Amino acid sequence: MLIKRIDRRVYFTLLTAVTVSGFIVICTLGQSLHRQKVNAKIAESSMAQEVLQPERIVREYNGRIGVFMGESSNPYRIIDYDISLLSEFDREQLREGIVVETDYELNRLIEDIAT
């Protein structure tokens, strides 16, 4: 009778251990799958953002400030500000071209140059 009771305890202890271990494995796999999906979405959205937002280059255009999209030779926006009023350093940067990534950066650059 004592052996039967011990066997029963061992059986339930092992059953509990296997159940808890299985639960832990399933939860870990679920978290791993979730993490992979999130990383895939982040990578996808960053690639889409790069495609949708070509870089802008701010440079001199006919004595004014031109904003160019990518490698375009025609500006999509011209800021009517005489670059001869700028410092030599700013004029040199505009001759070389200043790359900006976002509209926020572009607006800040224009504010900094024009004031």
Predicted confidence at residue 24, as pLDDT, reads 93
Note the pTM of the prediction, 2 decimals.
0.51
pLDDT at 110 over 90: no
Give per-residue burial for 13-51: e unless 16+ CB within 10 Å, then b.
eeeeeeeeeeeeeeeeeeeeeeeeeeeeeeeeeeeeeee
Structure tokens belonging to residue 14:
């092992």
**Among 22-26, 48-52, 75-79, 92-96, where is mean pLDDT lowest?**
48-52
Predicted confidence at residue 39, as pLDDT, reads 79
Q: What is the pLDDT of residues 34-54, one digit of tens each?
A: 888 887 887 776 665 555 556
